[in-house]
Amino acid sequence: MSVWNPDNITDVAESVGVGTLQKDVVEHLARDVEYRIGQVLEEALKFMRHGKRTTLGTQDISQALRVLDVEPLYGYESTRPLRFGEASIGPGQPLFYVEDEEVDFEKLINAPLPKVPREISFTAHWLAVEGVQPSIPQNPTSADQRHQELLPKGPGANPNLAAISGNDNVAVKPLVKHVLSKELQLYFERICAAILDETNDEYRAAAYASLRTDPGLHQLVPYFIQFVADKVTHNLKSLFTLTQMLQLVTALLDNPSLYIAPYVASIVPSVLTCLIGKHLGSPDRDGPTAHFALRDFAASLLASIARKHGQSSSTLKPRIARSCLKHFLDSHKPFGTHYGAILGLQGISGSAGIRTLILPNLKAYDLVLEQGIADDQKKEQAQVVVAALMRALESLEKDAVNVMNGHPEGNELKEKLVDTIGEVLGAKVFETGRSSLISAVLEKDTTV
């Protein structure tokens, strides 16, 4: 049974002068026409899909006929929709045709001529030469770039900032659209949900295992880093969330298939926040000293980042050390910040940094320790800081000369230690009775 109506074959045959056709010939011709039409439509659909369109057009049919080595149709390339008329040639036999538009000849003659299109021309220019953008009219100037930097960017940008700067209704679109597949989007959502799930440890462990080993996460790296930055910024009172963000960064750094070097500058601020943040966690819920474990984790992670990527960025270690030293010398900061700064300096610069950055400032810091130990609310945290400073001083022993020649003994030795590093730490070092530690503290920094 043919889908194509055999009566159409008979009508076409009569129009070309063939009066009689046998019934089996008509049926075979109808099947052949049906096959040819299907073949043309199949090729036309290919052009439609390659053109990223969902509507089949006459241009697709013409291209399909050209591919099939059939003379294409002419006269149906108009973008206006075709109007079909209906005529009846008998009872129950409608005939459809394309209506021809009637045009007034006088109006057509008197109509103005269309504008002459501009001639097509091509030109080429260098966008950048070895990373330097040449100053030509085609490239944006430095003033334009500074103007773009001042505008709010991203979907979450505050439109009021543009209004204040006199740029109302400004929409900044990225030059390159980053498109993620649905699979990667679903993976990102599931990983983020698993990491923040406090009830299912197995689900969270599986997420971290996937981040450490999956080789196909290159496109998701900036999204994970932005996710970490957002969560750290808005969840400073949640030690669980901050810890999981550090675990996420650790998993990304442990993945051997990911190239993290370009994103180090974006990772370090989040880790530094967990290291030297002023108030981390909730003392009422987590306890006054629970945040020290988070700072220990952040210090080890920051030291690992500096060790792996310090050579590729010559300013990475100095900037981290400068931030840690600044917070350590600020007496208005809490002991948690001082503790993180001490760990950061020790992890970044080692014993040399302890001797040059921390040791000369311990005499002035002694007043802060004395006030903290005298305060019942701050005493516990101050003692943790004292323990951290003692560990930092003990790291100097391996590089110091283990002799006591030239140093006084007894009370004079204690007074000299107090005069060098303060009352609290001087007494602690003297009570240890370790000559190597005392020599390391009293040794001049000329050995560095």
Bridge partners of 95, per DSSP, are 87
Residue 152's pLDDT band, with cuts at 50, 70 and 90, is low
- Residue 181 pLDDT: 83
| 6-79 shares its CATH topology with 184-400 | no
Number of H helices, E strands in the chain: 20, 2
Residue 446's pLDDT band, with cuts at 50, 70 and 90, is very low
Tell me if 267 sits within 8 A of 301, measured CB to CB: no
DSSP one-letter string for 342-384: HHHHHHHHHHHHIIIIIGGGHHHHHHHHHHHHHSTTTHHHHHH
- What are the structural domain ranges in the chain? 6-79, 184-400
Rounded mean pLDDT of 347-351? 86
Domain at 6-79: CATH architecture: Orthogonal Bundle (1.10)
Q: H-helix or E-strand containing 95?
A: strand 94-98
Residue 126's pLDDT band, with cuts at 50, 70 and 90, is confident
Residue 363's pLDDT band, with cuts at 50, 70 and 90, is confident
- pLDDT tens profile 221-259: 999 999 999 999 998 889 999 999 999 999 999 999 888
Question: What dihedral angle (degrees, nearest 10) is formed by the CA atoms of 115, 116, 122, 123?
Answer: -70
Task: Name which of 168, 279, 269, 159 is nearest 225 in CA terms.
Answer: 269
Task: Name which of 400, 369, 402 is nearest 384 in CA terms.
Answer: 369
pTM, two decimals, is 0.58
Superfamily of chain region 184-400:
TAF6, C-terminal HEAT repeat domain (1.25.40.770)
- pLDDT tens profile 380-401: 888 998 999 888 888 887 766 5
Bridge partners of 87, per DSSP, are 95
- Residue 403 pLDDT: 47
Residue 447's pLDDT band, with cuts at 50, 70 and 90, is very low
Q: Could you give the CA distance from residue 448 to residue 439 in angstroms, rounded to a whole number?
A: 14
Average pLDDT, the chain: 81
Tell me if 252 sits within 8 A of 207, measured CB to CB: no
- Kindly state the tokens that stand for 35: 């096959």
Query: Sign of the CA dihedral 290, 295, 298, 304?
Result: negative
- Residue 153 pLDDT: 54
